[in-house]
Structure 1
Amino acid sequence: MSGKPPLPPSTAGRSTPAAPARSAGAPPASKTKPTLAHPPPHVVATLKPPPQVIPLRPPPAHLYRHQGAPPPRKPRHRQHHRRRRSACSCRRACCLATGVFLLLLCLALAASCLAYLYYRPRAPAFHLQPLRPVRLRLSNASFPSAMDAAVGVKAVSWNPNDRVAFRYGAGEGRVSLADPDGDVDLGWAGVAAFEHAPRTVASVAFVATAKGVVLDEAVAARVRERYRRRQLAFRVAVDARVGVRVAGMRSAMVPVRLACDGGVMARRGGSESDGGSNLGPMSKCQVYLFRVRW
């Protein structure tokens, strides 16, 4: 027990670090600062702080553009502005053209109304005279019966206008024989062009011929009986073109059709010396422009 060093006296209220214990044969501590030995390299490497990792940034975008990339596009707002400007110009041109067209149309309608109020045009009236000559020849030798026909047609027209004249172009006239079982076509003929002056009378005349028209036995019997009594009924149609001439100006020619459904045979011994009144009653015809009744 004699080998242990004595304990230092304790100081109340003070905390001083305890002095290191010395062995019995150790020399007294020196007042110089002790030198520390250098640690080995592997210990120093483990004690050093880890190096800071600097994040890598991608290179600027312009560096990629030089490596064969397509050229940059123009800003979209410029293209949109150009498209919008072109659309506005097209819309403005369309509106201007529409306005000019409507203005011209209004002027044309106003001029037409004024001309109509001044000239007061009226449609001409057509009447079909009794047909003559009417030659029908039916053969009894063959079956069915065959008929040869020659029919003369004349329609009279009256122009009631004072300042309006009509121009009729060349056309075509057809004649058919009315029958309950169906009309029998009797041929056609050309119609010459003519001009109808104001307050005058004009006429349309042609002769239609047909050969070898085949008839049923019942129809042939009715035709013979009515021809003997001169009670045959005919239908006449004339297709042509008509134009208007007013104050030296001529309009375009438009299609016109003259339809006469009440044609009759002329009386025996009648003539046109007194205006055709002794030929029989005349039938009124209808005039159609573009298939619309005039």
Structure 2
Amino acid sequence: MSAPPVKPVLQKPPGYKDPNAPAGARGFRPPPRKPVLPPFFHPKKRKTNYGRACCCCFCVFFLIFLLLILISAAAFYLWFDPKLPGFHVQSFRISHFNVTKRPDGTYLDAKTTTRLEVKNPNGKMTYYYRNTEVDVTVGEGGYETELGTTTVPEFTMQEKNTRSLRVETKVSNKLVVDEVGNKLKTRYRSKTLPVNVEARTKVGVGVAGLKIGMVGVTVKCDGMSKKKLDGGDMPKCVINMLKW
């Protein structure tokens, strides 16, 4: 008697689970492992740039601060309408002027009286002046000669106020070059002698009872002639701020 034919072994389909297999062994597969990449494929961690952030914050705050200053300055200007003080030479008189030639040189004796008119055109601001040094010179070019310096005590200019400052100077036995002495004497007699007055001081501003800083100011009254001054001409002086 011949043996029965052998049945072929059936292959299990993919994903087949044996119901008779233990529970722990049913279809257990270890989790897939991530492929190991070379170091240069690893993503780099971004570093926080604190310096750049601080710089940006500083720029923003600075712009805001600058904007506030500009707005405050505009509001101040519109409300107070500030104007610079005005200086004029009200009068100038030479009470004594003598050029003497001696064997040892030429000497000058002179006395002058100058009146400076100071105006405060502001209606809401007060000006505070420190001690003011005033120089008086005559002549121009190569023969300009000093006629003395005096100091005017500090004073205050209220709103819409005008004040006259009396300035007296003198020189005695001042040695000058012979040629300069001759020119001064000739132009003094013809009343064409150029006169220059320069004042140096410091000015502070008072607003709503508060004093704001002191600024150096130089006032120059140049190019005046004695003839024009005697005729009542009141030339306006030039004010240079922040100069001392």
Do both share a fold (TM > 0.5)?
yes
CA RMSD of aligned residues (A): 2.8
Change (3 A) 1:134 1:263: farther
Contact 1:262 1:284 in 2 (8 A): no
1:284 aligns with 2:227: no
TM-score normalized by structure 1? 0.60
The one-letter code matched in structure 1 to 2:136 is V
User: Residue in 2 aligned with 1:112?
Assistant: 73
Question: 2:174 maps to which residue?
Answer: 213
Q: CA deviation at 1:280?
A: 2.6
2:91 and 2:116 in contact (8 A); partners too: no
Conserved in 2, the CA contact under 8 Å of 1:132 and 1:151?
Answer: yes
Relative contact order, higher structure (CA 8 A, sep 6+): 2
Partner in structure 2 of residue 141 of structure 1: 102
Q: Where does residue 195 of structure 1 map in the other structure? A: 156
Superposition map of 1:92-131 within 5 A: 92-131=53-92
Percent sequence identity over matched residues? 26
> CA 1:227–1:105 in structure 2 vs 1: closer, same or farther (change >3 Å)?
same
Structure with greater Cα Rg: 1
Q: How far did residue 150 of structure 1 move?
A: 2.5
Structure (1 or 2) with the greater strand fraction:
2
Asked if 2 retains the 8 angstrom alpha-carbon contact of 1:174 and 1:237, the reply is yes
- Would the alpha carbon gap of residues 81 and 176 (structure 1) be closer, same or farther in structure 2, given more than 3 Å must change? farther
Moved over 6 A (4+): none
Deviations 1:16-71 (A, max 9, x none): xxxxxxxxxxxxxxxxxxxxxxxxxxxxxxxxxxxxxxxxxxxxxxxxxxxxxxxx
CA-CA distance at 1:124 after TM superposition: 2.2
Query: Is 1:168 aligned to residue 129 of structure 2?
Result: yes
TM-superposed CA distance for 1:201, in Å, is: 0.5
Q: Distance in 2 between matches of 1:278 and 1:219?
A: 23
Deviation, 1:256, is 0.8
How far off its partner does 1:143 sit? 4.0
Give how far 1:96 is off: 2.2
CA distance in structure 1 between the partners assigned to 2:208 and 2:196 by the alignment: 37
- TM-score under structure 2 length normalisation: 0.71
Distance between the aligned counterparts of 2:231 and 2:135, measured in 1?
21
* Counterpart Cα distance in 2 of 1:134 and 1:264: 16
- For 2:107 and 2:71, the matched residues in 1 are separated by 59
Residue 252 in structure 1 maps to residue 204 in structure 2:
no
Residue 97 and residue 176 in structure 1: after superposition, are their counterparts in 2 closer, same or farther (change >3 A)? same
Tell me the distance in 2 between the aligned counterparts of 1:176 and 1:196. 27
State the distance in 1 between where 2:92 and 2:230 align: 13
1:64-105, Cα deviation, whole Å (9 max, x unpaired)? xxxxxxxxxxxxxxxx989x55xx223323332332232122
The answer as to 2:196 corresponding to 1:235 is yes
Retained in 1: the 8 A contact 2:138–2:146?
yes
Where in structure 2 are the equivalents of 1:178-189 lying within 5 Å? 178-189=139-150
Superposition deviation, residue 194 in structure 1:
1.3
Q: What residue ranges of structure 1 are gaps of 5+ in the alignment? A: 1-79, 268-276
In 1: Cα distance, 2:240 partner to 2:216 partner: 8
**Cα offset, 1:155, TM superposition:** 0.9
CA contact (8 A) 2:120 2:158 kept: yes
Match of 1:155 in 2: 116
1:243 is paired with a residue whose SS is: strand
Q: Give 1:288 shift.
A: 1.2
Alpha-carbon separation, structure 2, partners of 1:177 and 1:142: 25
Flag the 1:219–1:141 CA change in 2: closer, same or farther, 3 A: same
- Distance in 2, Cα, partners of 1:135 & 1:99: 66
Q: In 2, distance between residues paired with 1:149 and 1:157?
A: 25
- CA deviation after TM superposition for structure 1 residue 238, in Å: 0.7
1: distance between equivalents of 2:141 and 2:202? 32
Pair 1:194–1:279, CA change in 2 (3 A)? farther
Structure 2 partner of 1:72? none
Is the CA contact 2:126–2:206 (under 8 Å) kept in the aligned structure 1? yes
Q: Please tell me whether the aligned partners of residues 131 and 263 of structure 1 are also in contact (alpha carbons under 8 angstroms).
A: no
Q: Tell me the amino acid that sits aligned with residue 196 of structure 1.
A: M
